Amino acid sequence: MHNSKDLVDGTDRKSDQYWADVTEEYNKTTEVCRRRNRNQLKIRWDRVKKPVSEFHGCWVRTNKAYRSGMSDDQLMEIAEKMYASDHSDKEFMLKHIWKVVRGERKWSAYVKKME
């Protein structure tokens, strides 16, 4: 998200420059044995964005139906069950990513674009 909202460089960078910056930032904050190249990071993002957006849809539906008197933990549990039932009882394993992107305007715009 840091590179997506960079006010100094702006958001109008070409794809190659954007992913070069993402790769540099990722590798700067990652152990040497876990470093990735630009292609690996792009492929990873392509693989996670669909399930994350599908879980987000479950979260939104859960909030609309059960908002009153329920904690976020209870809502999360219901959203996880909803996701699992929609995906052959497969658990949603990307909560750590969803928690980072869910409140971001750029993510909300991406989700609306997918709809």
pLDDT at 7: 47
Q: What is the mean pLDDT of residues 5-13?
A: 53
**pLDDT over 80 at 34, yes or no:** yes
pLDDT at 8: 46
Q: Provide the pLDDT confidence category of residue 72 given band limits of 50, 70 and 90.
A: confident
Residues 64, 73: Cα–Cα separation, whole Å: 15
| Spatial contact of 86 and 58, defined as CB atoms under 8 Å apart | yes
Query: Considering the chain, what is the average pLDDT of its residues?
Result: 85
- Which position has the token pair 């949603």? 92
Residues recorded for the chain: 115
pLDDT at 91: 96
Tell me, yes or no, if the pTM score tops 0.75: yes
**pLDDT over 70 at 12, yes or no:** no
Q: What is the mean pLDDT of residues 79-96?
A: 96
Q: HSE of 112 in the Cβ direction (CA atoms, 13 Å)?
A: 6
Residues 74, 82: Cα–Cα separation, whole Å: 12
